[in-house]
Structure 1
Amino acid sequence: MDVALSGLLLHADRVMKVVDCPRSRLYDVVAAAFQAGNCRPAMIELGVHKGDNAARLMELLKPRHTVLVDAWSADSLKTYSHFDRLPPWILPLTAFERYFGGSLSDQATFDRTYEVARQRFEGRSDVEIIRDDTVSAFASIRDRHGDGAFDFIYVDANHQYEYVLRDLLYYQHLLAPNGVMMLNDCCHSQKGMNQNLGVLEAVGNFMKRADFMPVALTSTDMSDLIVARRGSQVAEALDAALDGSDIAFVEVMPQMLPSAHIRVSPQGRTRVSFA
């Protein structure tokens, strides 16, 4: 390894970029990193809903194979809160019925959503849909494809702490050495508290157990996060892609990630703070 590349890897390994851009721009960055490595990725998405995000990822990343995992089950929402009576800072599930298109206690709501996703990708030999919980799906995917077979994994299933941590600890084994994981709603904000999110806390725990590091975090109230293996070439490629873009960012120590929280200005603008 030459001195210049070694220096870039060391830089990418010791900083996290807090970026001023929406999620869609991070997809562009991931696509650029894969293109730089001449990689046409294989992809997994955990948490599919109607398939809007999966379709966007496929358009930008142009994966050679995609596995979409979602239970599409009313029973999966029984873990929304561990308490019989919801704490006042957590919104009831009825608050999200408009997003899901019906009652969240009615399995028919999820059956309709599944049909939308199924029909969206029907007839595509490069798309595999698994209607199951993420752990059962993991076993199926591992048996069929083996460890390290995927280059990009988007984690957006159950957002409660224990379930996010479990998904990360399992699915890291399916990720290639130069693979990328991305998480949605990785933040501590009022909106996050209202939805009982535990993504940020789960990632913080995961980083202590696995040799991954945060690469980029969006400065939004429902932040998106890119993680990659420490010292990997893809971490350097992501860092270089951000450096070469017009995306504004600041660099912070990656150990600061668990302290991230959202501050909202009097004008309503959201910013990530570590103070």
Structure 2
Amino acid sequence: MTSYQFTNNWFDALAKGVWDQMMTHHAPARIVEIGSYEGASACYLIDRLAPRHPIELHCIDTWAGGIEHQAGGVAQTDMSAVESRFHHNVTLAADKYPGRAQLTVHKGYSDECLARLIAAGKKGYFDFVYVDGSHQASDVLADAVLGFKLLKAGGIIAFDDYLWAEQLPSGKDPLRCPKPAIDAFVNLNFRKLEVLSAPLYQLYVRKLSD
């Protein structure tokens, strides 16, 4: 029997436990995922939600890797192989639920792809937005702002790698980690959202209003 092809267990180790509880209560039907890598979270969403109701899932990634893939210990990551595994995995997941998982893959930079979704009339359309793309603070902030516009009131936006920081020879660079951008976004929109209680490796907020 054909099986998923994952080379790491990041999602299972750091997010699955919280998502198991969240998806039981929230059960989103329209989802945007920013940063898909090998498709672990996308496959989880399909397997968890498609048996309950049809879902619409948009996956956004360049499959070029981030700046941390271009220098240092993970520089040898073969992103073309990662992209191939993504397509294998999500196709396998969707094929298990014919007609119940509408999957759209957007290959490109997230700010451009998110802007196109807004231009296509998807503002306030999605139930769940997962921000797990670039770790650069400026990119994370753009993903947060645009993703929040796509999210409907009552929807949830999840930020991965909240406490992640790249280990550089000069120490931590606040412009090369997500936390400062996520904090700035939450602080500037504190009247429009509420922070949900969860382990802080990921940060979850519910949208209250535009």
Fold equivalence (TM over 0.5): yes
The one-letter amino acid paired with 2:182 is: V
Matches within 5 A, 1:156-175: 156-175=132-151
User: When the two structures are superposed, what TM-score results if normalisation uses the length of structure 2?
Assistant: 0.74
Task: Tell me what 1:208 maps to.
Answer: 187
Alignment match of 1:110 (pick from 76, 79, 100): 79
Q: Which has the larger radius of gyration?
A: 1
Alignment match of 2:206 (pick from 208, 224, 228): 228
Percent identity between the aligned chains? Answer: 17
Task: Tell me what 1:93 maps to.
Answer: 71
Task: Tell me what 2:90 maps to.
Answer: 121
The one-letter amino acid paired with 1:215 is: L
Alignment match of 1:50 (pick from 22, 38, 57): 38
**Once the 2 structures are TM-superposed, how far is the Cα of residue 193 of structure 1 from its aligned partner?**
4.4
Aligned length: 180
Task: Tell me what 1:198 maps to.
Answer: 177
The one-letter amino acid paired with 1:147 is: K
Alignment match of 1:177 (pick from 153, 164, 186): 153
**Once the 2 structures are TM-superposed, how far is the Cα of residue 54 of structure 1 from its aligned partner?**
1.4
* Residues 158-193 of structure 1: CA deviation (Å, up to 9, x unaligned): 011111111101111100111101111111xxx624
CA RMSD of aligned residues (A): 2.7
Task: Tell me what 2:60 maps to.
Answer: 69
Q: Secondary structure at the match of 1:217?
A: coil
The one-letter amino acid paired with 2:127 is: D
Identify unmatched segments of 5+ residues in structure 2: 1-12, 95-100
The verdict on how the C-alpha distance between 1:111 and 1:27 changes in structure 2, with shifts beyond 3 A counting, is same
**Once the 2 structures are TM-superposed, how far is the Cα of residue 22 of structure 1 from its aligned partner?**
4.6
**Once the 2 structures are TM-superposed, how far is the Cα of residue 153 of structure 1 from its aligned partner?**
0.7
Matches within 5 A, 1:250-261: none
**Once the 2 structures are TM-superposed, how far is the Cα of residue 202 of structure 1 from its aligned partner?**
1.1
Alignment match of 1:41 (pick from 13, 29, 45): 29
User: When the two structures are superposed, what TM-score results if normalisation uses the length of structure 1?
Assistant: 0.58
Identify unmatched segments of 5+ residues in structure 1: 1-20, 81-90, 98-102, 233-275
Q: Secondary structure at the match of 1:226?
A: strand
Judge conservation of contact 2:155–2:206 (CA < 8 Å) in 1: yes
Distance in 1 of aligned mates of 2:194 and 2:179: 13
Q: Secondary structure at the match of 1:93?
A: coil
Judge conservation of contact 1:64–1:126 (CA < 8 Å) in 2: yes
Judge conservation of contact 2:136–2:178 (CA < 8 Å) in 1: yes
The verdict on how the C-alpha distance between 1:94 and 1:168 changes in structure 2, with shifts beyond 3 A counting, is same
If asked which structure has higher relative contact order (CA below 8 Å, sep 6+), I would say 1
Distance in 2 of aligned mates of 1:92 and 1:175: 32
